[in-house]
Structure 1
Amino acid sequence: MEVPDQKARRRLTPDDWADAALTAIAAGGLAAVAVEPLATRLHTTKGSFYWHFANRDALLDAALARWEERTTTDVVGEITAMDERGPADRLRRLITRVVGIAERDPVGPALLASAGHPQVAAALDRVTRTRIDLIVALFEGLGFTADDARRRALLAYSAYLGHAELAHSTPDVLPAAADERRAYLDDVLRALTAR
């Protein structure tokens, strides 16, 4: 008797599960991270989940770490690696980069909606502090005092969060054409760096 052809399944990794959890968070919030529906989405069993994770909290930690890496750690690395460029170029690149990420990242707004959850709160605190510290360093590199750099960094981060909210709730109010978008980002940069 012949065995029907079956697609060879690759072994799922913790990252596969974390990515599925992030997709669930984006679609349905933190409550959507449940083992059985994720296993169904991944075409596997709960046993695969328990091979990699002790429980849902461990999966949530892995998903949050993956989101943090993609939206913060990688960006900080990219910006700080621009050693040959001055702080103004790095700030411009940072603003351009994070605006694009904010517009495409449905996970961030979903996490902000769950900011009271202890695991999410810890991740948001780490991410926010890391991001603000980078912005402070860039403003200090532009010659602003530590206090002024911190105030400007908070303003820049607040503007980023507002932009992210607009991008997800009412995207039509943001400039869509490339030249309008450049002018908008130039205005943001000028406002943040004005003496």
Structure 2
Amino acid sequence: MTDATARPRRRRTPEDWADAALGLIAEGGLAAVTVDALAARVGTTKGSLYHHFAGREALLDAALARWEDRTTTAVLRDVRDAAFDPAAMLRLLIVRVVATAEQDPVGLALLASAHHPAVAPVLERVTDTRLAAVTGLFTELGFAPDEARSRALLAYSAFLGHGQLAHSTPGVLPHAKEDRRAYLDQVVRLLSAR
């Protein structure tokens, strides 16, 4: 193949680098995100990283923002756009976050690095946003503010536990479609029971 017929290499975008960082976090935690590992993952030189970011910390910030958007902002937006009734929104949110927990090894890895200066504020913001959204749904369902907050905290704790189980011992969770539906219906019933 000559230079004239060679396919031009696609320029790497900041999103490519952020996704590579998230992949490395999922596989080996925050410590796995090195400039060399990132360049190898993206398939280009380290200089490309510095073309888009001031350094590793700036890239981490971009990757964490991307994770936050995918696992929190977009999920909440999709739920609000898909349902108007608070009970339907709660059920849809539970279904979506359970699926997210099962497919998101990044969240678990970030919890292991919760005290890192780049991670701590993101986890705090994500947790606050998620709890506020679920508290709002329970309030719309007619629960008093303190009770709505308690139920939201219970729901969020269950979400975190579900994520742990999905990655550590997935065999304990229901997998058949009917069993899964019954399980999620029970979760909604228990959380919203008066």
TM-score normalised by structure 2 residue count: 0.96
Matched, 1:112 2:111: yes
Shift of 1:80: 2.0
Matched, 1:124 2:105: no
Q: Which residue of 1 is the match for residue 135 of structure 2?
A: 136
Greater CA drift, 36-45 or 157-166: 36-45
Q: Which residue of 2 is the match for residue 45 of structure 1?
A: 45
Alignment of 1:6-155 (within 5 A): 6-82=6-82, 85-155=84-154
- CA deviation map 1:99-154 (0-9, x unaligned): 00100111010101111101111110010000000000100010001110000000
**Cα distance in 2 for residues equivalent to 1:165 and 1:26:** 13
Paired letter, 2:80: T
**Cα distance in 2 for residues equivalent to 1:37 and 1:7:** 25
Please give the secondary structure, in 1, of the residue aligned with 2:115: coil
- CA deviation map 1:32-83 (0-9, x unaligned): 1111111122111111000000011000000000000000000111122235
Shift of 1:5: 4.7
**Cα distance in 2 for residues equivalent to 1:178 and 1:51:** 47
Paired letter, 2:47: G
Q: Which residue of 2 is the match for residue 173 of structure 1?
A: 172
**Cα distance in 1 for residues equivalent to 2:103 and 2:119:** 20
**Cα distance in 1 for residues equivalent to 2:131 and 2:110:** 18
Paired letter, 1:191: L
Paired letter, 1:54: A
**Cα distance in 2 for residues equivalent to 1:187 and 1:129:** 25
**Cα distance in 1 for residues equivalent to 2:184 and 2:95:** 7
Paired letter, 1:86: D
Percent identity over the alignment is 63
CA RMSD, aligned part only? 1.1
**Cα distance in 2 for residues equivalent to 1:5 and 1:144:** 67
**Cα distance in 1 for residues equivalent to 2:7 and 2:107:** 35
TM-score normalised by structure 1 residue count: 0.96
**Cα distance in 2 for residues equivalent to 1:3 and 1:130:** 51
Please give the secondary structure, in 2, of the residue aligned with 1:9: coil
**Cα distance in 1 for residues equivalent to 2:163 and 2:149:** 21
5+ long unaligned stretches in structure 2: none
How many residues matched? Answer: 193
5+ long unaligned stretches in structure 1: none
- Structure 1: which 4+ aligned runs deviate by more than 3 Å? 2-7
